[in-house]
């Protein structure tokens, strides 16, 4: 649990910070809106700006760099690595949370790997990752490209649109839960029988609801990243295309989309890793139900550990999640090639 | 690109550190071991938030603290949050001096791990205190003949509530047999109201149906065997017959449309009853207070009816058998210091269930588990209901503890998962019995 505890509940935090890491390089910019937010902390921790504009020169890690990183590394060690070791150790024990911790070898692992809920949860995680990506990426790109235009009203829209991200997941889940109540929810309030569905009690409908709410919450964030990235694309490219007679659609597919490649990778990494850890919304909204229809692996881990009091098995599940999360994140990064995290400023 | 990867790593580190800090802050937001002022010894006490109990127990602590037996530090937690926090706190050696609980299987794990004190000899010394309580509360407080917890609060049997106005409208009577129940279901469905209100998403709500069905079909012994650790008892014929009755109800559309979407924590199941949209609701006695408080004139106009769960032809269980929670319990942490324990026991003896608490409980519409309340109950504005509950409690041949409280926590979680699957129709009665006997979570 501990190793992953930095993700459920605080999903937005690493997401924002990591966006900063990639966004800043891609978006050191003339438009202050998106880039400016994330730029500041990074340049403080990274190399002097002068060398960065000119591309990768310095290969040696200077002592001063290490000194700057030291507090962060210490935090990382104490709060991320140490608990991770603890969880790995716990996964080889049986513990009910209050009694003595017994070393039982691989028992917890065999338990975890032979339970049908584990595989069910894993399949749901895959479904979650694929579905959120397919749903959110195209919409975010289109919205991002649209909002990157210059008219003032678009900025206003962007701000309004960003609001859902500012709400906590728990608040969102509680609100939607009331709205979706079959007897006292939106359907009754608006007197629209069509909305009167068994939203959270039907194994299929509940997924429609979940994916919708998650999209509603997170598309604004990804839109913001894409908006920033689109504003980085040099105008000269579009002017050249116009002279060549390219229409708006052609411009989008031939210039905007290819230029967004690295942003796409950043955004996808966040989405994929984020989808692994959706916990709060599901926990509040459905508790994994109906039945086990939404009992994704992180939730299964939590319920096994803190409801079922099987800390050993829960730890084994946690380790599995760490491994899956890391491999997925590395995989997506690799898709982009080695230079995906390099600065693209001089690329035009 | 070394520079960049270094900064990325530090970003990650900072992120991890920050989120750990945030979480850490949540973790220690509890009361810890802060000592109350006043100079004397103090003991900590965690209780559940929510009215009217928050005020009642808050007052009892204040009254005790004004005396000279020490100070109690009281902190309130939400129900679900408490259930998970208390285990973690006990495991980490950070438990409060007074541990609130529900007795049964949860208490057994604490007792077996020596986390709570054996209070048997203390009770022998304080026989007067012991005799204040209704006899039936002690079973769930005991593990292997030793008492590890003291009763607190109101008795909470599960009751079949009715909306008498709806029953009258559809031309049905309050059911006392299974056939009468099915008759209500049919009449309600053809009249377009929900026969039975059920917040199925909460799972323990559906469990209440199983508890009574099994009692009425197989008698209280079947679950008594299960609670005693005999997993084979899940394979008893009466368990399968119980599942078949659930299927019968589902086939008859007995539960409100979309019941799987409803959760009990928002009280929409009660609202369905008090807004005349449902005929029946099987629920804990504690809902009386909230229906009275939130249901407008539902209770005062006499539309709220109540009665025992129907009998089933050929079944072994009696109409008077009850299921539910005998009451709540308070234990003393064995990790506490002698000084803390002394204050805690003084509070438990003189404060936790004082006469004032009993009076307040009655005023809030519940029945304290203290003997000799007849007069006070008769004088209450909810006299009819409260006296009925009190009599039912004393006349009940058997009072089976709620299953999720009676079982060990791990088995209770397995049970809840399988119950939900059964009510969804995802598994049948036989599969349910087999899963439970094998300890398999769906």
Query: Is a pLDDT exceeding 90 seen at residue A183?
Result: no
A58/B3 CB distance under 8 A: yes
What would the mean pLDDT of B3-9 be, rounded to a whole number? 40
Say how far apart CA B88 and CA B29 lie, in whole Å.
14
Q: What is the pLDDT of residue A341?
A: 55
Q: Would the ipTM clear 0.85, i.e. be above it? A: no
The tokens describing B143, both together, are 């593990």
What would the mean pLDDT of B143-169 be, rounded to a whole number? 93
Q: What is the mean pLDDT of chain B?
A: 86
b/e for A163-200, b at 16 or more Cβ within 10 A?
Answer: ebbeeebeebbeebbeebbbbbbbbeeeeeeebbbbbb
Q: What is the pLDDT of residue A52?
A: 45
State residue B3 phi and psi, 5-degree precision: -50, -50
**pLDDT tens digits for B194-218?**
999 999 988 999 999 999 999 999 9
Any alpha helices (H) in chain A, and if so which ranges?
A: 12-26, 32-45, 49-53, 63-76, 82-90, 107-114, 116-147, 152-166, 169-179, 186-189, 205-232, 235-243, 248-251, 257-259, 261-277, 280-285, 297-302, 311-335
Interface test with B, best of A79, A295, A312 (most B CBs within 10 A): A79
Residue A21 Cα, gap to closest chain B Cα (Å): 6
Q: What is the pLDDT of residue B207?
A: 96
A47/B262 CB distance under 8 A: no
The percent of residues in chain B predicted with pLDDT above 70, rounded, is 91
Q: What is the pLDDT of residue A340?
A: 55
**pLDDT tens digits for A289-299?**
788 899 999 99
Residue B83 Cα, gap to closest chain A Cα (Å): 9
Residue B7 Cα, gap to closest chain A Cα (Å): 5
Interface test with B, best of A45, A68, A120 (most B CBs within 10 A): A45
Q: What is the pLDDT of residue A3?
A: 39
Q: What is the pLDDT of residue A162?
A: 85
**pLDDT tens digits for B394-413?**
888 999 999 999 998 889 98
Q: What is the pLDDT of residue B7?
A: 42
Residue B295 Cα, gap to closest chain A Cα (Å): 14
B1/A75 CB distance under 8 A: no
Q: What is the pLDDT of residue A142?
A: 93
**pLDDT tens digits for A124-167?**
999 999 999 999 999 999 999 998 888 888 888 888 888 888 88
Query: Is a pLDDT exceeding 80 seen at residue B94?
Result: yes
A6/B442 CB distance under 8 A: no
A79/B21 CB distance under 8 A: yes
Query: Is a pLDDT exceeding 80 seen at residue B255?
Result: yes
The tokens describing B346, both together, are 């003084």
Question: Which residues does chain B have within 8 Å of residue A277's beta carbon, measured at their own beta carbons?
Answer: none
Q: What is the pLDDT of residue B304?
A: 95
CB contact, 8 Å: A189 with chain B?
no
Confidence of residue B371 (pLDDT cuts 50, 70, 90): confident
Chain A residue with CA closest to B421: the answer is A291
A65/B266 CB distance under 8 A: no
Q: What is the pLDDT of residue A342?
A: 55
- What's the pTM value of the predicted model, to 2 decimals? 0.80
Q: What is the pLDDT of residue B320?
A: 93
The tokens describing A146, both together, are 């649209």
Residue B197 Cα, gap to closest chain A Cα (Å): 11
Chain B residue with CA closest to A200: the answer is B261
Confidence of residue A17 (pLDDT cuts 50, 70, 90): very low
- For residue A341, CA distances in Å to A36, A237, B379 come to 18, 23, 77
Q: What is the pLDDT of residue B19?
A: 42
Question: Which residues does chain B have within 8 Å of residue A115's beta carbon, measured at their own beta carbons?
Answer: 441
Q: What is the pLDDT of residue B91?
A: 84
Smallest Cβ–Cβ distance between A98 and the set B15, B90, B420 belongs to B90
The helix/strand/coil state of B46 is strand
Say how far apart CA B353 and CA B176 lie, in whole Å.
35
B441/A117 CB distance under 8 A: yes
Least confident of A201-210, A274-283, B242-251: A274-283
Q: What is the pLDDT of residue B442?
A: 59
Confidence of residue B307 (pLDDT cuts 50, 70, 90): very high
- DSSP one-letter code for B35: P
Confidence of residue A58 (pLDDT cuts 50, 70, 90): low
Residue A72 Cα, gap to closest chain B Cα (Å): 5
Chain B residue with CA closest to A67: the answer is B10
Element (H, E) at B83: helix B79-91
Confidence of residue A195 (pLDDT cuts 50, 70, 90): confident
Domains of chain B: 4-155+327-371 (3.40.190.10), 156-324+394-438 (3.40.190.10)
Confidence of residue B93 (pLDDT cuts 50, 70, 90): confident
Give A 79-108 residues with CB within 8 A of chain B: 79-80, 83, 96-100
């Amino acid at each position: 649990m501990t190793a992953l505890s930095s993700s459920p509940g605080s999903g937005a935090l690493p997401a924002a910070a990591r966006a900063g890491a990639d966004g800043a390089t891609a978006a050191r910019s003339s438009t202050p809106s998106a880039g400016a937010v994330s730029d500041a902390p990074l340049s403080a921790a990274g190399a002097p700006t002068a060398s960065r504009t000119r591309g990768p020169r310095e290969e040696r890690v200077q002592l001063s760099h290490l000194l700057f990183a030291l507090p962060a590394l210490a935090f990382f060690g104490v709060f991320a690595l140490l608990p991770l070791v603890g969880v790995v150790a716990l996964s080889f024990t049986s513990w009910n949370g209050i009694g003595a911790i017994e070393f039982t070898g691989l028992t917890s692992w065999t338990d975890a790997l032979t339970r049908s809920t584990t595989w069910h949860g894993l399949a749901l995680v895959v479904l979650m990752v694929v579905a959120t990506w397919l749903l959110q990426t195209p919409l975010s790109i289109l919205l991002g490209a649209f909002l990157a235009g210059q008219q003032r009203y678009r900025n206003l829209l962007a701000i309004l649109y960003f609001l859902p991200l500012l709400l906590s997941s728990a608040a969102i889940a509680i609100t939607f839960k009331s709205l979706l109540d079959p007897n006292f929810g939106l359907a009754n309030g608006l007197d629209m029988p069509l909305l009167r569905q068994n939203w959270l009690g039907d194994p299929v409908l509940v997924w429609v609801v979940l994916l919708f709410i998650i999209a509603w919450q997170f598309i604004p964030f990804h839109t913001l990243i894409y908006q920033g990235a689109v504003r980085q694309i040099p105008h000269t490219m579009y002017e050249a295309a116009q002279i060549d007679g390219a229409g708006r659609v052609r411009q989008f597919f031939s210039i905007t989309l290819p230029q967004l490649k690295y942003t796409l990778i950043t955004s996808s990494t966040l989405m994929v890793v984020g989808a692994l850890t959706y916990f709060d919304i599901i926990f509040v909204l459905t508790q994994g139900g109906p039945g086990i229809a939404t009992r994704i692996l992180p939730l299964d881990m939590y319920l096994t550990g803190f409801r079922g009091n099987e800390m050993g098995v829960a730890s084994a599940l946690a380790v599995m999640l760490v491994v899956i999360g890391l491999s997925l994140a590395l995989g997506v990064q690799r898709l982009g090639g080695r230079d995906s995290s390099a600065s693209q400023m001089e690329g035009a | 690109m070394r520079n960049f990867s270094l900064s990325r790593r530090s970003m990650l580190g900072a992120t991890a550190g920050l989120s750990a800090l945030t979480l850490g802050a949540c973790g220690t937001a509890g009361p810890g071991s802060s000592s109350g002022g006043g100079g004397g010894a103090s003991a900590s006490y965690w209780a559940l938030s929510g009215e009217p109990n928050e005020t009642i127990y808050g007052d009892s602590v204040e009254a005790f603290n004004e005396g000279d037996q020490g100070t109690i530090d009281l902190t309130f937690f939400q129900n679900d949050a408490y259930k998970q926090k208390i285990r973690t706190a006990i495991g980490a050696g950070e438990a409060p001096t007074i541990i609130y609980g529900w007795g049964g299987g949860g208490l057994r794990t604490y007792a077996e791990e020596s986390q709570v004190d054996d209070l048997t000899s203390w009770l022998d010394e304080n026989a007067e205190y012991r005799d204040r309580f209704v006899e039936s509360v002690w079973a769930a407080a005991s593990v292997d003949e030793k008492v590890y917890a003291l009763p607190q609060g109101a008795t909470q049997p599960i009751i079949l509530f009715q909306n008498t106005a709806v029953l009258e409208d559809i031309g049905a009577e309050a059911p006392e047999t299974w056939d009468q129940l099915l008759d209500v279901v049919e009449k309600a469905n053809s009249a377009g109201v929900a026969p039975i209100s059920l917040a199925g998403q909460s799972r323990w709500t559906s469990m209440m149906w199983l508890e009574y069905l099994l009692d009425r079909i197989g008698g209280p012994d079947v679950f008594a065997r299960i609670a005693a650790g005999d997993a084979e008892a899940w394979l008893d014929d009466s368990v399968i017959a119980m599942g078949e009755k659930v299927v019968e109800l589902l086939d008859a559309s007995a539960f409100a449309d979309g019941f799987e979407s409803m959760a009990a924590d928002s009280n929409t199941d009660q609202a369905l009853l008090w807004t005349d949209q449902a005929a029946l609701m099987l629920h804990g006695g504690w809902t009386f207070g909230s229906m009275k408080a939130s249901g407008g004139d539902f209770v005062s106009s006499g539309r709220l009816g109540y009665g025992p769960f129907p009998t089933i032809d050929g079944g072994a269980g009696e109409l008077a058998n009850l299921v539910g929670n005998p009451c709540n319990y308070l234990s003393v942490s064995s990790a506490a210091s002698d000084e803390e324990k002394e204050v805690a026991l003084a509070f438990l003896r003189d404060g936790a269930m004082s006469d004032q608490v009993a009076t307040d409980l009655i005023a809030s519409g519940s029945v304290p588990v203290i003997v000799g309340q007849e007069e006070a109950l008769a004088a209450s504005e909810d006299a009819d209901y409260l006296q009925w509950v009190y009599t039912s409690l004393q006349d009940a041949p058997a009072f089976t503890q709620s299953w999720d409280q009676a079982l060990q926590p791990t088995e209770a979680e397995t049970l809840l998962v399988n119950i939900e699957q059964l009510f969804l129709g995802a598994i049948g009665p036989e599969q349910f019995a087999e899963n439970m006997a094998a300890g398999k979570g769906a």
